[in-house]
């Protein structure tokens, strides 16, 4: 299944078709997807081993609804704006889809014990999934809603090394905080109580004291 706007996935479908052909995997398209991309729909698209989703959270939810109760695993490749439900970023499509379905984690590409991937990694036949790549994708997704402190906390909780976490840039933090405030509150704060409430909101989202003061202090910049 793919994003409702075909242009959103760019060359993603062609990339999926190429890696499927390389590994002898048949791609089956339901009628709506066949019509969307000008492809021949499968006679029995429900008879699949795994459902690959190219899109965002909305597309993943549509796939989960379609395959609910079938036992078919759904693996999402994030081509949307959010991607919390996706298994991997778009840059990992080829590497991940080259593996057998049972070796894909639905919460990120991980090395699961007692799988062929784990054995390949242990004998040096392939490199383990990159923490740097995972962190890069995670930062891209979370930065739409959170500040650097909250993002770093999330990555530490997921076991990402301290060196990678501390290397996360705070560039653009002020503009992101301003945009988030603008979406949350339509009108500027006019009282000390309102400014304090919004300052606490930004603090909870992980923005720095410096940025909060620039937006909510006595000499605050407009947002």
User: Please, how many CA atoms are within 13 Å of residue 220, restricted to the half-sphere of its CB?
Assistant: 23
User: Are the CB atoms for 215 and 179 separated by under 8 Å?
Assistant: no
As a whole number of angstroms, the distance between CA 52 and CA 50 comes to 6
pLDDT of residue 11: 83
Beta strand residue intervals within 34-152, DSSP E: 51-55, 74-78, 88-89
User: Are the CB atoms for 174 and 214 separated by under 8 Å?
Assistant: yes
- Please indicate whether residue 131 is annotated as part of the active site: no
| Residue 144: CB atoms within 10 Å | 13
Enter the tokens of residue 18.
Answer: 């190429």
Enter the tokens of residue 81.
Answer: 């704006």
pLDDT of residue 102: 42
pLDDT of residue 53: 85
Neighbour order of strands in the sheet with 88-89: 51-55, 74-78, 88-89
User: Are the CB atoms for 173 and 147 separated by under 8 Å?
Assistant: yes
- Nearest residue to 81 (alpha-carbon basis) of 12, 144, 15: 144
pLDDT by position in tens, the chain (length 223): 788 787 878 788 888 888 778 777 778 888 888 888 888 877 665 567 778 888 888 888 888 887 776 667 788 888 766 655 565 666 666 766 665 444 343 334 556 666 666 777 788 876 666 788 778 878 887 888 899 999 999 999 888 889 999 998 889 999 999 999 998 998 888 898 999 999 999 999 999 999 999 998 765 655 5
pLDDT of residue 78: 80
pLDDT of residue 173: 95
User: Are the CB atoms for 3 and 77 separated by under 8 Å?
Assistant: no
pTM greater than the 0.75 cutoff = no
Question: Which among 26, 57, 163, 171 is annotated as catalytic?
Answer: 57
pLDDT of residue 179: 92
């Amino acid at each position: 299944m793919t994003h409702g706007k075909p242009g959103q996935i760019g060359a993603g479908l062609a990339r999926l078709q190429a890696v499927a052909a390389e590994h002898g995997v048949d791609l089956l398209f339901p009628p709506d997807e066949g019509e969307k991309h000008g492809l021949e729909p499968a006679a029995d698209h429900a008879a699949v081993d795994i459902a690959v989703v190219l899109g965002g959270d909305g597309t993943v939810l549509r796939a989960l609804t379609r395959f609910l109760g079938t036992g078919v695993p759904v693996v999402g490749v994030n081509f949307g704006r959010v991607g919390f439900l996706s298994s991997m970023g778009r840059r990992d499509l080829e590497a991940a889809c080259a593996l057998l379905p049972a070796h894909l984690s639905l919460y990120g590409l991980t090395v699961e014990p007692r799988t062929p991937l784990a054995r390949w990694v242990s004998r040096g036949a392939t490199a383990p999934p990159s923490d740097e790549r995972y962190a890069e994708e995670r930062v891209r997704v979370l930065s739409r809603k959170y500040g650097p402190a909250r993002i770093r906390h999330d990555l530490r909780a997921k076991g990402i090394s301290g060196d990678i976490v501390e290397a996360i840039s705070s560039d653009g933090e002020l503009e992101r905080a301003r945009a988030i405030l603008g979406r949350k509150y339509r009108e500027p704060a006019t009282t000390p109580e309102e400014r304090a409430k919004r300052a606490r909101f930004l603090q909870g989202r992980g923005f720095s004291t410096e940025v909060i003061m620039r937006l909510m202090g006595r000499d605050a910049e407009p947002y």
